[in-house]
A and B are shown apart, each in its own frame.
Chain A
Amino acid sequence: MSWSQEELVAAAYGVVFVFVLVYVAIIATKLARLQRETAELVDLARARGSSDQAPDYAASVPAAREGEIGAS
């Protein structure tokens, strides 16, 4: 197959363009994955935070009530 000079110049610049485009697409995919993972970790941290707070709350309520009763 014979290539004209113009086609070869276009191919050289086109290859660079495609490489950059593919690289940006890979980075965008990775960014989407990182966003998803961050959201999962936020949910996990919130769930853990609420489960950690629950016993403290339950433990503090009778004590508070006892205090109230004692005060009255």
Chain B
Amino acid sequence: MGLALVLALIVAPEDADQGISQRIFYIHVPIALTAYFCFGLGAVKALLLLWRGDERYDLESYVAIHQGTIFGALTLITGAIWAKASWGVWWTWSSNQLVLFLVLFLFYCAYFMLRYSLEDGPRRARSSAVYALFGVALIPVSFLAIRLAEDFIHPTVFTRDGPQMSGTMFATFVVSWGAVTLLAYVLYRVELAGKRLDADLRELREALQ
């Protein structure tokens, strides 16, 4: 993360069009891609739960979606700051890309409402898994909306001709993406370990009392 910060804030050259505000790109885009990945991972774990019936996938799916929601919130916040710097507004409802990402984020926020409205057990695990699988359909819609948008407000940097940036900028982006992915992985493992330990302790307490 330290290397990514040094590259993004000091080493990477300033963008000719956007100036210094383009440096938000190095944190905003990796966080958005990580949010998509976490939601996708949550759906894969949900599918495994429904397919194999192994209860451990329920907790893994939940933690992945929780991480996705955190990174989704960060995507919206850093995106709003970048929008203020580039467009002069914090938010615009006329841009489908922004609204679709907000819909995706709110959809997964509702996942927690559904999950905690049901009693702990196989029924809750299966209902949460089905909901997580429905949500995954929104990911390609949200992702492709940025590419298929007609208003061209949201910039498209990666085209079929390759990344539309200099080598240093691309290297900075790759390092930042790697750092954010690593951060997400560490947070995922730590939260999962904490949840499993919590469940084990609860079971042990019930056995002892």
Which of A3, A9, A30, A41 makes the CB contact (< 8 A) with B24?
A: A9
Q: 1/0 per position for A9-50, CB-CB distance to B under 8 A?
A: 101110110011001000100110010011001001100100
Name the CB-closest residue of B to A8.
B85
Bound together, the chains give a CA A12 to CA B84 distance in angstroms of 11
Which of B78, B197, B201 makes the CB contact (< 8 A) with A12?
A: B78
- Residue numbers in A under 8 Å from B73 (CB-CB): 19
Main SS class of interface, A: helix
Point out residues on A near B: beta carbons under 8 Å: 3, 5-6, 8-9, 11-13, 15-16, 19-20, 23, 27, 30-31, 34, 37-38, 41, 44-45, 48
- Residue numbers in A under 8 Å from B74 (CB-CB): 15-16, 19
Q: Identify 6 residue pairs between A and B in the complex whose beta-carbon atoms are under 8 Å apart, listed by A's number.
A: A9-B9, A9-B21, A13-B27, A15-B77, A16-B31, A44-B209
- Residue numbers in B under 8 Å from A19 (CB-CB): 70, 73-74
Main SS class of interface, B: helix
Decide: A15 and B201 in contact? CB cutoff 8 A: no
CB distance from A27 to the nearest CB of B (A): 6
Contacts A27-B191, A34-B201, A41-B205; A8 near B84 (Cβ below 8 A): yes
B39 at the interface (CB under 8 A from A): no
Name the CB-closest residue of B to A14.
B81
Decide: B85 and A5 in contact? CB cutoff 8 A: yes
Which of A9, A15, A23 makes the CB contact (< 8 A) with B23?
A: A9
Given contacts A5-B21, A9-B85, A44-B205, 20 further A-B contacts (CB under 8 A): A5-B85, A8-B81, A8-B82, A8-B84, A12-B24, A12-B28, A12-B82, A15-B81, A16-B78, A19-B74, A20-B183, A23-B70, A27-B191, A30-B194, A34-B197, A34-B198, A34-B201, A37-B205, A44-B208, A48-B208
- Residue numbers in B under 8 Å from A12 (CB-CB): 24, 27-28, 77-78, 81-82
- Residue numbers in A under 8 Å from B190 (CB-CB): 27
Chain B, range 14-44, C-beta contacts under 8 Å to A: 19-21, 23-24, 27-28, 31
Bound together, the chains give a CA A23 to CA B191 distance in angstroms of 10
Bound together, the chains give a CA A44 to CA B208 distance in angstroms of 7
- Residue numbers in B under 8 Å from A30 (CB-CB): 194, 198
Decide: A34 and B194 in contact? CB cutoff 8 A: yes
CB distance from A55 to the nearest CB of B (A): 18
- Residue numbers in B under 8 Å from A27 (CB-CB): 190-191, 194
B174 at the interface (CB under 8 A from A): no
